Structure 1
Amino acid sequence: MLDFLAADHLFTIMLVLTTGALLGQVKFGPLRFGAAGALFMGLVIGAFDPRFGAGNDLVKSLGVVLFCYTVGLAAGSTFLSDLRRQWSLMAAGVAGLGVMAAVAAGLGHLLGLTSAHVAGLYAGALTSPAIDAAITATDGDGATLVGYALAYPTGVILGMIMVAVVVGRRWPGTKDTPSLAEAGLTAVTARVENDIPIEDVPGFTEQIVKFSYLEREGVVRVARGRGSFLAGDRVLVIGSPDDVERAVAALGHVDTEASLTDHRRVVDFRRFLVSSPHVVGRPLGELDVHGRLRGVVTRVRRGDLDMLARDDLVLQPGDRVLAVVPRESLGEATNFFGDSERHVSQVDALTMGLGIALGLLAGAVRLPLGGGIVFQLGAAAGPLVVGMVLGSLHRTGPFRWDLPQQVAGTLRQLGLMIFLACVGLASGPAFLAEAFTLEGLAIVVVAGASMFVGGVLVFLAARLIGLSAQRATGGFAGWVGQPAILAFANSRVNDERIDSAYGALFALGTIVKILLVQVLA
C-alpha cells in the first residue's frame, strides 16, 4: 500500500483532500479547521513515508497560484479605495513583522536554536513563501526545514485561535467604513409633504440612497433621479436603514399604504444575471441604464453581499442586478445584461491564463539588494500582486480580468486545499522526527511566542487606529500569510473588509518577510 501511494502522487493528494475535508468539519471547541484540515491530514499521512511528499512541487505551486491570483482579483477591486484607511494598518503590520523577528532571534538564541532554525520557524509560523529565500540563505541547512515543518501547524492553530477571539467583536471602528454585508439594504415608501429638489434629499448626491418607483397623481413611473419631488408624491427609497430614515424624514413621512412595488402592470422589477461582455467590467454610471432602458438599477448582489448600485460600482460576471424598468422593457433588459447562467459559468481561459502568467513572471524577477540578500516575490506573492492590479483595472480594452464569483470561489478553495495538502505531505517526516524532542518543543515555543507578540501588536494598532475588528482580522490573516486563516475568518463572519485587508497585508508582508528571513539566516 505504501508503495502504491508513493508511486501515485495524484491519488495520495486526493486521499489527503478527502480525509482533510472530513477533519475540517469536526469542531474542536470554537474551532473548525475547514480547509486547514488538509494540512493536518497531510502531516499525518506524510509522516508514514517521505516519498509521499516528493515530487509534488509543481502541484503545490499550482494550488498556491490559483489561490493567490483569485484572492488578488477580489482584493484589488476595493484595494485602491481602501488604501487611505489601510496604510496605517500596513505600517503596523511591517512593525509587527520586525518585532516578531527580533523576538524569534532573541528567544531562539536563549533556547539554543541555530540561525537556520530561527529562519525556518519564522517562515513557517508566518506560512510564508519566504522559505525558499531561507533555504538559499542557509545553504540548504536541514535545520531550516525542521523549523519550518514544526512552526507551520503552530502558526495555523495559533492564528485560528486569535481570529476566533477577535473576529466577532464590535469595538468602535470610527475610522472604518461600515460593513455592507452587515448593514444590509432596506426599501421604504415615503410620502412627500413639501416640494423638494431631488439633490437636496440627504444621501442622494453621495449616492448612499436611491429612488426607484415614483407615484404622482395616481400614475406610477420610474423615478428619473433629477428634478424635484412634489407634495403628495409617493417614492420608494432604497439604502441602509439609517440612510433611508434620514432621507424619509427630509421627504415627509413613511407611507403605510400598499407598497409601490405592488404596482407591476406599468413598472416592473427583476434581478438580472450579469453575463454580457458589453457590461462586464464597466461602472454602472457608464451604462446609461435610464437612457437605454428607461429604468434604474437599485441593487447589485455579489455572492452573499447586497450592495447599493452606485455609479462607480464596476459590474463583475455573475453579479445580479435589481433593475426597475417599464414592463415593456423587461426583454430589452434581459438582452442588455445577458442573464445567461451558461455564459457566466464559463472561465475566460485567455485572460485568466494571461493574468497568471504575468504574475509568475513578476514572481520570478530576482533583485539583488547587496550583502547577499536577494529579493523575489515568488509563485505566491507575484500572482497576488498582479491579481490585485488587474482586479483594480477590471478590464483593459477587450480583456476582462474579473472572474465570476462562483468560479473564483471554487478555484480559490481548490487551490488552497491542494497547496496545504502538498505542504503537509512534504513536512510530515520532519514534523514526526522532531515534534516530540526538546529541540522541537523549543521551536514550537519560539514560533508561538514570537507570532503571538507580533500579532497582538497588529490587533492593538488596528484598534488604536480606529479600524473595525473585522478589518483587523483580515489584516492579521494577511500578516500571517495563511490562506486557511483567511478562510476560517470568512467562515465566521460575512464581511467584505476581511478580504480587502488580507490582500493589502499579504503582498506587503511577503516582501518584508523575504528580506527579514535572510537577515535572520
Structure 2
Amino acid sequence: MALGTLLGRVRFGPVQFGAAGALFVGLAVGALDPRLGEGFGTYQTFGLALFVYMIGLSAGNGFFRDMRKQYRLMLAVVGIYAIYALGVSALGSFAGLGKELTAGTFTGTLTSTPALAAASRASGNSTIPAVGYAIAYPFGVIIPMVLVSLMMASPRIRSKFSARRDPGRPRGAQIRDMSVRVTSTIALMDVPGVREGTVSASYLLRRGMMTIVRTDTVLHEGDEIVLVGFPESLERALEVIGERAEHRLLDDRSAVDYRRILVSNPRLEGRLLRETRIASRYGAIVTRLRRGDEDMVASPWTRLELGDRVRVVAPREEISRITEYLGDSEKRINSVDFLALGLGISLGLLLGLVGIPLGGGATFALGSAAGPLVVGLILGRWEHTGPILWTLPRPVNLTIRQLGLSVFLAAVGVISGPSFAENAFTMTGLKVALVAAASLMLMLPLVPIAGALLGVSLERAAGAVAAFVGQSVVLEHALNLAHDDERTASGYAAVYALGIVVQLLLVQFMVT
C-alpha cells in the first residue's frame, strides 16, 4: 500500500493511477512467490466491503433523488452498459480470450474494482480476471480523458448539445455579496435567482432599523438589502430591484451579525434548511454554505450534511444559541459511530450471501461487492433509524473509503501476481490490450451521443463519461475543462452508483 501510494502519485503525462498503484505493486510482489498471497482473501473481502459501503452511504441520497431528475440519462447509460458488455464479450471471443480474461478486461476498461471482485467470485476465486483488469486499466483512464478533451475543445461537438433540459447556474469565481437600494416594490421570491437558488438575501435596512430578510418579505422603495450570489446572478437581480447602495450594509454589525458555523448536530443530517426552522426559532437566515471545497448559495431547499460550514445571519443575541443548535464541533465531525458502521457493513455482507436460483443449478448472489453497496445506498437514503445515524461526515467517509480501496487492491495484486507474470507479457496480454482499446474507442462515445440526444448539457455528459468508467481522475480532468461546473459533478454522481450495480450484474453473466 505504501509503495502503491508512491506509484499512484507519479504522473505519466496527464495520467495518474492513484489508488490503483497498490494493485500494480501488489502484482509485482505477488509474482515473486505464490505463497505471498496465501490467506489474503480475507483482506480482499474486508477492504472491498469498506469501499463499496462508503460509496453507497455517500451516494444514497443523491442516487434516489437524481433518479427523478436524471432518469433519462441514467436509463440510457444502463442500455449502453449492456451494449458495452456484449461488445467486449464479442471482441474477447474473436481474440480467443476466455470468459474469465474477457470479464477481467471488461472490469479493467471500466476501472471497476467491485466488478473485478464479482468476476473473481463468479469464476471460483480465479486470479485470471485480475490479469485482464491490470492490463486494461490504463486504457480505462487514458482513452476517456482524450474523449473528454475532444468533447470540450471541439466547437462542432459542443454545438450538438443544446442543454434545453439542463440549464446551468451562472458561473462566477466566488460567491459575492452586494448592498442594494430598492427602487420598486417587489416580493423577495420574485427577485431573479431567488427561486432558482443562485441568489439569497440577508440584511434588510428599513426606516433606519436593521433586520433579517424572510422568504415572505416584500421589498419596498427605499429599503436597502444585502444580496448574496454569483456575480452574473447578482447583476440580473440588481436590474430588477434597484441600484447599488452607497455603503456596505455588512459593515454595520451592531444589531445583526453573521458567522460561519460548522454543522455537527447529527439530527440535522439530511434535513432541508427550511425544516430546521432557524428563521422562526431565531429570526436568522443561512445565506451560503461551504461543502468540501465548494461554495454554494443557500436556499430553503438546500439539504444539510454533517461537515457543512454555513454562513448564518442573525440578531447578535441569538448567535450563541444558533451555534449550540448547529453543533460547531470539530471533534464530533471527526468521530465514527462504530455501532452504525459495523452493523451496516454486516447487513451488506449478509445480503451478499443470499443466493437466487437461476435454474440449471446456477445461482445469483450480490456477493461482498454489491451487497454492502446496495445496503449502503438504502441506509444513505434513510440517514437515520431511530437513534442510529447511518451516514458519516464527508472527510471520514473519504478516509475509510480510501483505506478500504487500498487494502482491496493491494490484496488482489498479491494474490494475482503469479497469473499476471505468466500472461501479461505474452501474445495473450497483447490481445487483452487490443480488446480494451478497441472496446473503449468504439463504444464509449455512445455516452455523449446519448446525452446530446436527450438534451443534457455538454458539462453533464462529460461527468457521465467519467462515471461510466468510474474514474475520479477523469472527473477531475472534466471539472477543470468545465471550470468546475456543478452539472459535471452531478452527472458523475447520478451515473456512478447506478453503474456499479449494473456492472456487478453484467460481469457475473459474462463469466457464467
Q: In the alignment, which residue of structure 2 is the partner of 1:228? A: 218
Residue number in structure 2 paired with 1:507: 501
* Pair 249,32 (structure 1): closer, same or farther in 2 beyond 3 Å: same
The equivalences for 1:250-269 within 5 A come to: 250-255=240-245, 257-269=246-258
1:429 Cα deviation from its structure 2 partner:
1.4
Instruction: Specify the alignment match of 1:20 in structure 2.
Output: 4
Name the structure 2 match of 1:97. Answer: 81
- Spell out the pairing of 1:312-323 with structure 2 (5 A cutoff): 312-323=301-312
Offset from partner CA, 1:253-301 (integer Å, 9 cap, x none):
233x232111112111111111123433322111111222211111122
Distance 1:213 1:54 in 2: 66
2:265 is aligned with 1:284: no
Q: Which residue of 2 aligns with 1:109?
A: 93
Contact 1:122–1:447 (8 Å) recurs in 2: yes
Q: Which residue of 2 aligns with 1:423?
A: 412
Quote the Cα distance in structure 2 between the aligned partners of 1:132 and 1:316: 31
TM-fit CA distance, 1:23: 1.3
2:183–2:242: 8 Å Cα contact kept in structure 1?
yes
Does the C-alpha gap of structure 1 residues 131 and 419 become closer, same or farther in structure 2, counting only changes over 3 Å?
closer
Question: 1:119 & 1:167 partners in 2: Cα distance?
Answer: 25
Question: For 1:39-98, what per-residue CA distance to the aligned partner results, in whole angstroms no more than 9, with x for missing partners?
Answer: 222222222122222211221222222221222222222223321343333333333333
Give the direction of change, closer, same or farther, for the CA distance of 1:89–1:30 in structure 2 (3 Å limit). Answer: same
- The equivalent residue for 1:12 is none
Match status 1:162 vs 2:143: yes
Q: 1:24 to 1:182 in 2, by over 3 A?
A: farther
Deviation at residue 309 of structure 1 after TM alignment: 2.1
CA distance change for structure 1 residues 43 and 474 in 2, over 3 Å: closer, same or farther? farther
> Given that residues 237 and 248 in structure 1 are in contact (C-alpha distance below 8 angstroms), is that contact kept between their aligned partners in structure 2?
no
Q: 1:479 to 1:206 in 2, by over 3 A?
A: closer
User: Conserved in 1, the CA contact under 8 Å of 2:185 and 2:219?
Assistant: yes
Task: Structure 1: state its 5+ residue gaps.
Answer: 1-16
Whole-angstrom CA distance in 1 between matches of 2:108 and 2:302: 39
Q: Distance in 2 between matches of 1:267 and 1:111?
A: 72
After TM superposition, give the deviation of residue 198 of structure 1 in Å.
Answer: 2.4
Q: How far did 1:441 drift?
A: 1.7
Q: What corresponds to 2:283 in structure 1? A: 294
Does the CA-based 8 Å contact 1:96-1:457 persist in structure 2? Answer: yes
The answer to whether 1:145 aligns with 2:127 is yes
**1:299–1:308 CA contact under 8 A, matched in 2:** yes
What is the aligned counterpart of 2:27 among 31, 43, 60? 43
Distance 1:40 1:213 in 2: 56
Change (3 A) 1:264 1:135: closer
Judge conservation of contact 1:181–1:305 (CA < 8 Å) in 2. Answer: no
Which residue does the alignment assign to 1:215?
A: 205
Q: Is the aligned partner of 1:489 residue 2:475?
A: yes
Matched-pair contact (CA < 8 Å) for 1:394–1:400: yes
Contact 1:167-1:470 at 8 Å conserved across structures: no
Match of 2:184 in 1: 194
- TM-score when scaled to structure 2? 0.88
Secondary structure (helix, strand or coil) at the match of 1:210 reads: strand
Residue type matched to 1:231 in 2?
A: E
From 389, 400, 409, the equivalent of 2:389 is 400
CA offset at residue 241 of structure 1?
A: 3.3
Percent same amino acid among aligned pairs?
41
Distance in structure 1 (CA, Å) of the matches to 2:221 and 2:187: 11
* Letter aligned with residue 248 of structure 2: S
Q: Which moved more, 1:396-405 or 1:106-115?
A: 106-115
**Deviates most, 111-120 or 36-45:** 111-120
Give yes or no for contact 2:9–2:16 (8 Å, CA) kept in 1.
yes
The code of the aligned residue for 2:274 comes to G
Answer yes or no: is the 8 Å Cα contact 1:181–1:306 preserved in 2. Answer: no
Residue pairs, 1:382-393, within 5 angstroms? 382-393=371-382
Aligned AA for 2:135?
A: T
CA gap of 1:174–1:162, structure 2 versus 1, over 3 A, is farther
Partners of 1:261 and 1:223 in 2: CA distance: 13
Alignment of 1:43-122 (within 5 A): 43-122=27-106
In structure 2, what is the Cα distance between the partners aligned to 1:386 and 1:179? 33
Instruction: Name the TM-score, length of structure 1 as normaliser.
Output: 0.86
Provide the residue aligned with 1:6 in structure 2.
none
Greater CA deviation, 463-472 or 262-271?
Answer: 463-472
Q: Is the 8 A contact 1:203 1:243 kept in 2?
A: yes
Equivalent-residue separation in structure 1 for 2:118 and 2:326 (angstroms): 48
Query: Does the aligned pair in 2 maintain the 1:167–1:489 contact within 8 Å?
Result: no
The Cα of 1:416 is off from its aligned counterpart by: 1.6
Query: Kindly tell me: are residues 452 and 368 of structure 1, through their superposed partners in 2, closer, same or farther at Cα, counting changes over 3 Å?
Result: farther
Alpha-carbon spacing, 1:383–1:413, altered in 2? closer, same or farther (3 Å)? same
Contact 1:360 1:382 in 2 (8 A): yes
Tell me the SS of whatever aligns to 1:27.
coil
Amino acid at match of 1:101: A
- 1:225 is paired with a residue whose SS is coil
User: Partners in 2 of 1:18 and 1:230 — Cα distance?
Assistant: 63
| Equivalent-residue separation in structure 1 for 2:15 and 2:169 (angstroms) | 24
Q: CA deviation at 1:118?
A: 3.0
The total of aligned residue pairs comes to 494
C-alpha distance in 2 between matches for 1:77 and 1:246: 32
The 8 Å contact of residues 128 and 510 in structure 1, kept in 2 or not, is answered as no
* Cα offsets for 1:120-139 (capped at 9, x unmatched): 43345444545566567667
* Contact 1:66-1:412 at 8 Å conserved across structures: yes
Supply the AA of the counterpart residue of 1:79.
F
Determine the structure 2 residue equivalent to 1:435: 424
Q: Distance in 2 between matches of 1:418 and 1:179?
A: 39
How far 1:177 moved relative to its partner? 5.8
Aligned CA RMSD, in angstroms, stands at 2.7
Alpha-carbon distance between aligned partners in 1 of 2:195 and 2:463, rounded to the nearest angstrom? 31
